[in-house]
């Protein structure tokens, strides 16, 4: 099993592709595992701590803690530089301009972790 980085496991946030709300990776993992009611589902379950959960060919579904909808593992991304209350992974960040004292917005893409 190839695990992802420890700080992504502890502090990682996953933004639901359906409701666009962020929740911690640990919450996604525990609520999905608790939804596995049969032995077959529990045996087929791949934890979100494993890299295989995010592969393009994966058929594993994971349950959002906010909207209770299932999303395919290949659609999920783990972000470490945002908090769980962020609505979208792509947000406008205010950057102070030191030269003239004015604020300018800088669009930051969080997929380049």
The answer as to whether 106 is a domain residue is no
Q: Which residues on adjacent β-strands are paired with residue 15?
A: 22
Residue 17 CA neighbour count, 13 Å, CB half: 12
Instruction: Supply the pLDDT for residue 65.
Output: 94
The answer as to whether 41 is a domain residue is yes
Instruction: Supply the pLDDT for residue 98.
Output: 38
Instruction: Supply the pLDDT for residue 6.
Output: 79
Confidence band, pLDDT 50/70/90 cuts, at residue 84: low
The answer as to whether 98 is a domain residue is no
Task: Tell me the percentage of the chain whose pLDDT exceeds 90.
Answer: 42
The answer as to whether 107 is a domain residue is no
Residue 50 CA neighbour count, 13 Å, CB half: 10
pLDDT at 77 over 80: yes
CA distance 62 to 81: 22
CA distance 13 to 56: 19
* The total number of structural domains that make up the chain: 1
The answer as to whether 15 is a domain residue is yes
The answer as to whether 39 is a domain residue is yes
CB-count burial class (<10 Å; 0-12, 13-18, 19+) for 78? buried
| Predicted TM-score of the model (pTM) | 0.68
Confidence band, pLDDT 50/70/90 cuts, at residue 61: very high
The answer as to whether 21 is a domain residue is yes
The whole domain housing 70 covers 6-87
How far CA 27 is from CA of 31, 65, 101, 103, in Å, comes to 6, 7, 41, 36
The answer as to whether 73 is a domain residue is yes
CA distance 34 to 72: 17
């Amino acid at each position: 099993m190839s695990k992802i980085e420890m700080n992504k496991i502890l502090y990682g946030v996953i933004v639901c592709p359906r409701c666009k709300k962020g929740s911690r990776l640990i919450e996604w993992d525990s609520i999905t595992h608790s939804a596995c009611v049969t032995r077959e589902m529990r045996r087929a379950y791949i934890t979100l701590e494993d890299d295989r959960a995010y592969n393009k060919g994966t058929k594993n579904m994971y349950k959002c803690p906010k909207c209770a909808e299932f999303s395919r593992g290949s659609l999920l991304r783990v972000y470490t530089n945002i908090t769980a209350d962020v609505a979208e992974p792509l947000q406008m960040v205010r950057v102070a301009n030191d030269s003239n004292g004015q604020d300018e917005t800088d669009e930051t893409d969080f997929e380049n972790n």
